[in-house]
Amino acid sequence: MKWYDICCVNRYMLTRYQFNRLADPKKKELLQNEASFIGHFPLEEGEGMKLFALGQFFVEVWISSGKIVKFKTFQSNRSLSKYLHFIDISDIAKRS
């Protein structure tokens, strides 16, 4: 099975395991095309983390000097809770 056979979130439920097995360029493409961007969390100058929701799991994309250095996936709401007070939902609230 090829990555493009499993990655279309609208047709299939991509698992964390399947996502983690993809090559990094395919992970990046999938996040750009299928995931929901949650937020960007700057750390130090030139470093940060972007958080995405993809199906039933979340993906942290760690960036250093403008390049992706790591993808980290998790499913736990407990792991998500550390980001909740940083997430801006004002745009969603305006639509209600």
Tens-place pLDDT, residues 35-56: 988 888 888 887 899 999 898 8
Provide the token pair at 63: 């960036």
Give the whole-number percent of the chain exceeding pLDDT 90. Answer: 40
- The structure's pTM equals 0.75
Q: 47 to each of 22, 32, 65, 68, how far by Cα in Å?
A: 24, 19, 6, 10
**What domain range includes position 37?**
3-95
- 69 CB-near residues (< 8 Å, 6+ apart): 62, 63
CATH number, domain with residue 14: 3.30.67
Provide the token pair at 74: 């998790």
Residue 8 has pLDDT above 60, yes or no: no
Residue-level pLDDT at 3 = 42
Average pLDDT for residues 18-38, to the nearest whole number? 92
The tally of domains found in the chain comes to: 1
